[in-house]
Amino acid sequence: MTTLQIRIDEKIKKDAKLVLDSMGLDMSSAIKIYLKQVVLTQSIPFPILTENGLTVKEELRLLKAFDEAKRGINVTTVKNKKELKKYLDSLKRK
């Protein structure tokens, strides 16, 4: 058996403790579960999300699209509802 020491923001520790307590887990058990899952999956065992709830890849794509839209790149204009519906339907097929 070995000891693991980590430094963590006090608020995150407090908030995590509240969640874990409600689940009947202590911090040490939760960290052990996490590390066992890392070994089993050979990866981080959950998606890593930004504060906006997106993956890093999704957020980068969204930021790129916003930037392009501001510059008028890849922007589609429609003249009426019928044309808009036709355009949106075409996106579903892609």
Question: At 12, which CATH number?
Answer: 1.10.1220
Angle at 49 between CA 52 and CA 9, to 5 degrees: 90
Tens of pLDDT, residues 13-60: 999 999 999 999 999 999 999 999 999 999 999 999 998 899 999 999
Supply the pLDDT for residue 80: 86
Residue at 12 is within a domain = yes
Residues 3 and 38 in one domain: yes
Q: How far is CA 80 from CA 17, 52, 57, in A?
A: 54, 33, 33
**Which residues form the domain of 60?**
56-92
Judge whether 51 lies within some domain: no
pTM (predicted TM-score): 0.60
Q: What is the pLDDT of residue 89?
A: 83
Residue 74 lies in a domain: yes
